[in-house]
C-alpha cells in the first residue's frame, strides 16, 4: 500500500509570473465557456512581455508550437500566465508559456489549463530584425 511519502509532489508553474487577469463573461462563447482564442491571446501577451524584457525592446510573435489545452477556463477564474525562456538565438527567442487558473478564491485551488511554446523575433523601430543583446 502506497503512503503519502510515495505521492509525487504537485506540479508547479514553470518560469516567472508574467500576466494575471480575470476571465469575464464577455470572453465566453455561446455555451458559456471561455474562448480558446482569448486564452491564446493572453498567453501571447505574457510571452511578448517575457521576450521583450530579455530582448530589451520590441518583439513580434512569429510562431506558436505545441499548444495544448488541458482544462477549461471558467468565468471568474483568475488566469495566471507564467513564462520561461527556453532558447535565445541571434534574433529570436523561444518562450514556454503555461496558463494556470486560481479557482474558488477561498479554496486557493490552482490548475494548469494550457501551455504552448511561442517564438518571438526581436525587431527595431522600423520593424526589421535585430540582434538579441547578450545577457
Q: Between the CA atoms of 6, 7, 9 and 10, what dihedral angle is there, to the nearest 10 degrees?
A: 180
Mean pLDDT of the region 41-50? 98
How far the first Cα of the chain sits from its last, in Å, is: 50
For residue 72, the model assigns a pLDDT of 92
For residue 2, the model assigns a pLDDT of 57
For residue 24, the model assigns a pLDDT of 96
Sheet holding 92-103, edge to edge: 16-22, 78-88, 92-103, 109-122, 59-69
CA distance 4 to 17: 30
CA distance 75 to 126: 39
For residue 43, the model assigns a pLDDT of 98
Mean pLDDT of the region 21-25? 96
For residue 5, the model assigns a pLDDT of 63
Identify the DSSP state of 13: -
Identify the DSSP state of 130: -
- Structural domain boundaries in the chain: 12-122
**pLDDT tens digit sequence for 62-111:** 999 989 999 999 999 999 999 999 999 999 999 999 999 999 766 778 99
CATH 3.10.129.10 correct for 12-122: yes
Mean pLDDT of the region 33-38? 93
Amino acid at each position: 500500500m502506497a503512503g503519502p511519502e510515495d505521492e509525487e509532489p504537485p506540479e508547479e508553474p514553470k518560469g516567472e509570473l508574467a500576466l494575471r487577469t480575470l476571465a469575464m463573461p464577455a470572453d465566453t462563447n455561446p455555451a458559456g465557456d471561455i474562448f480558446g482564442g482569448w486564452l491564446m491571446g493572453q498567453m501571447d501577451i505574457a510571452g511578448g512581455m517575457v521576450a521583450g524584457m530579455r530582448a530589451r525592446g520590441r518583439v513580434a510573435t512569429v510562431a506558436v508550437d505545441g499548444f495544448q489545452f488541458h482544462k477549461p477556463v471558467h468565468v471568474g477564474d483568475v488566469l495566471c500566465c507564467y513564462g520561461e525562456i527556453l532558447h535565445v538565438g541571434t534574433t529570436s527567442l523561444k518562450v514556454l508559456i503555461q496558463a494556470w487558473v486560481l479557482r474558488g478564491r477561498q479554496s486557493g485551488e490552482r490548475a494548469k489549463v494550457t501551455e504552448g511554446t511561442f517564438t518571438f523575433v526581436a525587431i527595431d523601430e522600423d520593424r526589421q530584425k535585430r540582434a538579441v543583446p547578450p545577457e
